[in-house]
Chain A
């Protein structure tokens, strides 16, 4: 299997799907001649031409709407948002149109569109360029939300998303683009809606997604050295949530910590807690804890930026707390 960077895996998925189906096109700022702000679309313009790899003006609302309109009549647009921070300008088209078209038309319309781009905090970019916004989209019926952690998942999920007949929100890890991993060639599909046990363990479950997975791994390794066996469930899809997988891991370990990059209030993790306490309360040996970003805006200062985000020590502390261990 080839070792690919996360961005290369996405590039491969895009190229393969564009090859497979001429209805698929890519539109976004700098996706063409600049080769992508994060180089995800490298080489695609030369391969597929300017009608299928489209450099959009800086008009997030406008080109999101254009994509939705094209999807309404059967094209399969992939709309790249330079980052999800800017997609806030396109919220109306994503939420009020894409998510609701099928409903408002009583099932007459489908909207097979993928909105994708990097999300997440870090990189000393301060408040407006540094936020994890997935819970915003997970809130809306009519959308599916995916957030892969590994290059292989990124490829497999993007391929599924492009083939799906529903509007998909794909939040990539801005800080994961250069990360390498094994990626199967060709037809590699990860179903939307299925979580993945990334690490088997028996004492406690950590439930997470996207970049936070790596902090969880780091924490799990350190905890293992102390004799604590951690299971890590990577949700991969945030809407719909894989309830079965969440309940299965909790039934196995009887303890859970949820790690989420975004803010605590109304976060996706809050819904995971809700699923656990309402459907597996009797299985729990301790309250479920959440490790989230702090409830503040992101700072530029390096020390503040670090303090705001979850990290391995915070995760370790939470795990020890649900295990009623010392130092928690």
Chain B
């Protein structure tokens, strides 16, 4: 049977996953060399999730994540050198070295940040989705968070509102089974996180986060549903991180056997095998992609290394917007590349708000039923 996937799709997904993997391996190495400091949470093992999502959404859809946030922007198209420079704390980074590993922001590519407070981005995502509806845009907001984040209050508070107001947001819980050293089953009354969607009456489902094609299918379906105006979806991507929680974590809370077993599911060789078996691509084509990506990552490290540390006067910038201050377009600033995808929002005069959050007839009916007069 011929594959229903195009060669282009498979190779694009492969290239993205391979880039994420190589980038993170190099990041780990640079951490070991002392060039990256602080926390450094690697994404190794989870690549199928980001690659599958990216293939299924539009480039102008919004995205946010937690602190494990180097790889998802790479899948979006962020510059690997600028992400690496951010990890190094250099001016060439997306945030000029002020955000570091846990706070990658690439607004040009609609990546609205990594956040260091577990779960905090869940609320922001609802606000961004709210803005899309407010402006009658058909954008979807994709929000990544971990299994542990689902136990935060903001998760419950936000899902309630997102469901009630049918906000166009896709919540993707990357369930890698651990929050730092705590297995999710030890702290969650219902460890299948997606089932919590029932409490808010929203569509929810589990997805295979170790298989990029399955991930792609699940997300494509969910995004279609969201774009059609049906409200949020809570998707649990079952995945696994091959490394510790961060570079500082030797991960002694799980057995060697467990990790070895999971490594057999490595999504990257899995996709390669599939494509070759289907006769969609040859070994050499993958070799070529891998060689290109390796060069790209080498260049990224070199770029980061050569980028200067921020000057001390940077301390006093980027805290308060001064009147008349222009926005910074980082790729223009750092690479001199003309930015074309910088978002442009309608001014208040152009904007017509037609959305009825709580239609009046409905409200009046509810009042009447309760015997109230407005």
Contact = CB atoms under 8 A, between A and B. Distances in A.
Interface string A33-63: 1000000000000000111101111010111
Interface stretch (B1-9, B92-100, B226-234, B269-277): B92-100
Contacts of B122: 65
A20 interface: yes
Given A51-B356, A106-B95, A74 B105 contact: no
Contacts of B291: none
A109 B345 contact: no
B98 A106 contact: yes
Interface in A99-138: 101-110
B96 A73 contact: no
B88 to A, nearest CB: 14
Contacts of B317: 107
B158 interface: yes
Contacts of B319: 102-103, 141-142
A69 B167 CA distance: 13
A96 B131 CA distance: 21
Contacts of B318: 102-103, 105-107
B105 A104 contact: yes
A29 B120 CA distance: 21
Interface of A: 20-25, 32-33, 49-52, 54-57, 59, 61-77, 92-93, 96-97, 101-110, 141-142, 144, 164-166
B351 A59 contact: no
Contact of A52 (B129, B154, B353): B353
Secondary structure of the B side of the interface? Answer: loop
Contacts of A165: 321
B130 A66 contact: yes
Interface in B112-141: 112-113, 115-117, 120, 122-132, 134
Contacts of A141: 319-320
Contacts of B123: 61-62, 64-66, 68-69, 93
Given A23-B351, A107-B328, A67 B95 contact: no
Contact residue range for chain B?
35 or more
B356 A50 contact: yes
5 smallest A-B Cβ distances: which pairs?
Answer: A65-B123, A69-B127, A62-B157, A21-B348, A106-B95
Contacts of A75: 130-131, 134
20 contacts: A21-B347, A21-B348, A22-B349, A22-B351, A56-B161, A57-B164, A61-B153, A62-B153, A65-B157, A66-B127, A70-B128, A73-B128, A74-B131, A97-B117, A105-B95, A106-B105, A106-B330, A107-B318, A108-B105, A108-B329
Interface stretch (B16-24, B183-191, B250-258, B357-365): B357-365
A106 B134 contact: no
Nearest to A53: B357
Interface in B62-112: 62, 93-99, 103, 105-107, 112
Contacts of B327: 107-108, 110
Given A33-B363, A74-B345, A66 B94 contact: no
Contact of B161 (A33, A66, A97): A66
A65 B348 contact: no
Contacts of B330: 106, 108
B352 interface: yes
A73 B348 contact: no
Contacts of A102: 318-321
B4 to A, nearest CB: 35
B124 A62 contact: no
Contact of A55 (B62, B99, B106, B358): B358
Candidate in A21, A67, A73, A96 with the most chain B CB atoms within 10 angstroms: A73
Contacts of B357: 50-51, 54
Contacts of A32: 358
Interface in B126-180: 126-132, 134, 153-154, 157-158, 160-161, 164
A59 B157 contact: yes
B343 A73 contact: yes
B264 interface: no
A65 B124 contact: yes
Nearest to A144: B320
A96 B116 CA distance: 9
Nearest to B125: A69
Contacts of A25: 134, 353
A69 B320 contact: no
Contacts of A92: 117, 120, 154
Given A66-B130, A70-B128, A106 B353 contact: no
B157 A107 contact: no
B374 interface: yes
Contacts of B98: 103-104, 106
Candidate in A49, A56, A72 with the most chain B CB atoms within 10 angstroms: A72
Contacts of A56: 161
B124 A97 contact: yes
A268 B164 CA distance: 40
Given A22-B352, A50-B358, A104-B113, A65 B131 contact: no
Given A51-B354, A106-B99, 12 more contacts: A22-B351, A25-B134, A50-B357, A66-B126, A74-B343, A92-B154, A97-B120, A103-B95, A104-B95, A106-B97, A109-B112, A144-B320
A22 B374 contact: no
Contacts of B164: 57
Nearest to A93: B123
Contacts of A76: 348
Nearest to B360: A50
Nearest to A21: B348
A18 B103 CA distance: 33
A141 B320 CA distance: 8
A148 to B, nearest CB: 20
A33 B98 CA distance: 44
A50 B113 contact: no
Contacts of B374: 33
Nearest to A101: B113
A76 B160 CA distance: 22
A102 to B, nearest CB: 5
Contacts of A55: 358
A55 B103 CA distance: 32
A106 B107 CA distance: 11
